[in-house]
Amino acid sequence: MRPISRILIANRGEIARRIIRACHEEGLEAVAVYSDADRNSLHVRAADFAVPIGPAAPAESYLRIDRLIEAAHQIGAQAIHPGYGFLAERAAFAQAVLDAGLGFVGPGPDAMRALGDKTEARRRMAEAGVPIVPGTTEPITSAAQAEQIAQSLGYPVMVKAAAGGGGKGMRVVGSARELPGAIETARSEARKAFGDDTTYLEKFIVRPRHVEVQILADGERTIHLGERECSIQRRHQKLVEESPSVAVSAELRERMGQAGVAAARAVGYVGAGTCEFLLAEDGSFYFLEMNTRIQVEHPVTELVLGVDLVREQLRIVRGLPMTPTDGPHVPRGWAIECRITSEDPSHGFLPSTGRIRFLRAPSGPGVRWDGGVETGDEVTLFYDSLLGKLIVWAPDRPQAIRRMQRALNELLVLGVGTNQGFHRSLLADPAFQAGEIDIQFLDRRPDLLTPPHDPELMVVIAVAAALAEDQARRSRAPIVSGGETKAAPSAWTHAARRDALR
């Protein structure tokens, strides 16, 4: 058992707050880090300690490995949790943390390197007997080679970047005429996003589902915790997730789960990870990639299986055995997650920035709000647009959909635009309600991406805005003490006082 009592969280927003909660439930102290823009953020206030790490730009703060390790040593943390995004899947970060004598809450750097390079990952999966999408296991080196491979696979094919993720460096190609331009575009995008323009080719599977399997490994045992359906995507970015999947039977769940376990064992994986698959209409499935971190959508697995995945991560880094048994783990009920982002669906999901004038989180039976912001917080262009995750649980899928509709109506965010209207339209759609979805679903249904104007909601927002403005005006009123009038202390003053108390 490794003596760890204080964890530094190398992240911000919703996931930082989620990890802080898990630390406290495990009896551990949580250390937040913050950029200048996040000085007064929710995750900073929730932590036991907080350390500044630089300017607002991520390249000067949350992506600075040296500053994060220095902060951990400065505050006496014995381990670092990377969360998701930023440095979470950088093998160089994991290696630097270990070299500094600290624990890393995640897999080892060797496993991260093997899985971070998609061509290497495909090669290892094929050797381990995990089904992979037909395609190359080596990078493409010329247009002529690519054309020959594409002809053998049969169009359509997909050009994919070997590094990175999130839909960057990916292009679907329907004919030989399109191939050279698609390769050049994918390489250029990958070079800018990941600093690596290596690409490879895969057969494009028509209308597959995106189904992922949750893996947990503690060095002694490797198990799977069922699947999540993540097919509702826009430009390869997930918007809605659920567990279980309407397309997965108990028998298929076990086969996919065992494939995920084999994938993890093939690289000596330790910790929480996610094996992503494409599930074809005929029930065949293919390895897509493995994410070497906690996923944004992990709460839906937690709700149907009654397990706290972040606490399991914290146990594993301390050398403790994970608590779930070998299984089989049968999901109880149904969970759905909607990602609430500061984006405007009516204008192509453009980012919306500004100060949150009012936020009312939903509550009630079966409702969970994992939020990273609150009233008064500033939403900027420096960071991801995720404001929070709205998750519901119910005994079955129809009830979960109705509960999510109710929760979406309760959620109110003023000051920035959000994608709530999209979620309302999606959940009301008969095809979605019937579970007739795949990863191209929104490509065929652009009407769902431009939700209709809701007059009743506009009235509610107008009333709430007036109340929020009145509350803000009262908070700015002068304070009278002992016959002397003085201005109310600013947020910066409060932050300075907290720093001094620490």
CATH number at residue 144: 3.30.1490.20
Q: Is residue 123 part of a domain?
A: no
Residues 324 and 266 in one domain: yes
Residue 190 and residue 197 in contact, taking contact as beta carbons nearer than 8 Å: yes
pLDDT of res. 195: 85
Residue with tokens 């395609």: 135
Active site residue 293: yes
CATH number for the domain harbouring residue 84 = 3.40.50.20
Of 5, 1, 8, 3, nearest to 81 by C-alpha is 8
Q: Is residue 457 part of a domain?
A: no
Residues 167 and 276 in one domain: no
Give ∠ CA 92-95-100 in degrees, rounded to 5. Answer: 125
Half-sphere exposure of 103 (CA within 13 A, CB side): 24
Residues 193 and 298 in one domain: no
Residues 184 and 231 in one domain: no
Q: Is residue 124 part of a domain?
A: no
Please, what sign has the CA dihedral across residues 140, 142, 143, 144? negative
For 360, the token pair is 């009312």
Give ∠ CA 323-326-329 in degrees, rounded to 5. Answer: 90
| 127: Cα separation from own chain's centroid | 29
Q: What is the CA radius of gyration of the chain?
A: 23
pLDDT of res. 322: 97
Residue 393 and residue 400 in contact, taking contact as beta carbons nearer than 8 Å: yes
Residues 180 and 238 in one domain: no
Residues 290 and 340 in one domain: no
Residues 213 and 318 in one domain: yes
Count structural domains, the chain. Answer: 5
What phi, psi does 499 have (nearest 5°)? Answer: -60, -40
Candidate list 12, 228, 234, 293, residue with the active-site label: 293
Residue 308 and residue 25 in contact, taking contact as beta carbons nearer than 8 Å: yes
Residue 253 and residue 227 in contact, taking contact as beta carbons nearer than 8 Å: yes
Residue 403 and residue 394 in contact, taking contact as beta carbons nearer than 8 Å: yes
Q: Is residue 461 part of a domain?
A: no
The string of DSSP letters for 37-96 reads GGTT-HHHHHSSEEEEEE-SSGGGTTT-HHHHHHHHHHHT-SEEE--SSTTTT-HHHHHH
The CA–CA distances, whole Å, from 177 to 103, 152, 181, 334, 339 equal 51, 16, 8, 45, 38
Q: Is residue 182 part of a domain?
A: yes
Domain boundary among 151, 180, 203: 203
Residue 241 and residue 234 in contact, taking contact as beta carbons nearer than 8 Å: no
Half-sphere exposure of 175 (CA within 13 A, CB side): 2
Residues 217 and 322 in one domain: yes
Q: Is residue 122 part of a domain?
A: no
Q: Is residue 458 part of a domain?
A: no
Residues 312 and 352 in one domain: no
Q: What range does the domain containing 497 cover?
A: 466-501
Write the DSSP symbol of residue 448: G
Residues 236 and 319 in one domain: yes
pLDDT of res. 468: 55
Domain boundary among 296, 312, 332: 332
Q: pLDDT digit of tens for each residue in the chain (502 aa)?
A: 779 999 999 999 999 999 999 999 999 999 999 999 999 999 999 999 999 999 999 999 999 999 999 999 999 999 999 999 999 999 999 999 999 999 999 999 999 999 988 888 989 999 999 999 899 878 898 989 999 999 999 999 999 988 866 677 899 999 999 999 999 999 999 888 888 899 999 999 989 999 999 999 999 999 999 999 999 999 889 999 999 999 999 999 999 999 999 999 999 999 999 999 999 999 999 999 999 999 999 999 999 999 999 999 999 999 999 999 998 999 999 999 999 999 988 788 899 999 999 999 999 999 999 999 999 999 999 999 999 999 999 999 999 999 999 999 999 999 999 999 999 999 999 999 999 999 999 999 999 988 665 555 555 555 555 555 555 555 554 433 334 444 444 554 444 444 444 4
List Cβ<8 Å contacts ≥24 apart for 464-471.
464/358, 464/360, 464/412, 464/414, 465/357, 465/358, 465/414, 467/358, 468/357, 468/358, 468/375, 468/414, 468/415, 469/357, 471/358
Of 448, 428, 441, 438, nearest to 349 by C-alpha is 448
Residue with tokens 């800018």: 192
Residues 195 and 240 in one domain: no
Q: Is residue 460 part of a domain?
A: no
Rounded CA-CA distance 99/78 in Å is 13
Amino acid at position 96, single letter = A
CATH number for the domain harbouring residue 293 = 3.30.470.20
If phi over 0 gives left and psi between -120 and 50 gives alpha, with beta otherwise, what is residue 283? left
Domain boundary among 148, 173, 203: 203
Residues 153 and 170 in one domain: yes
pLDDT of res. 498: 45
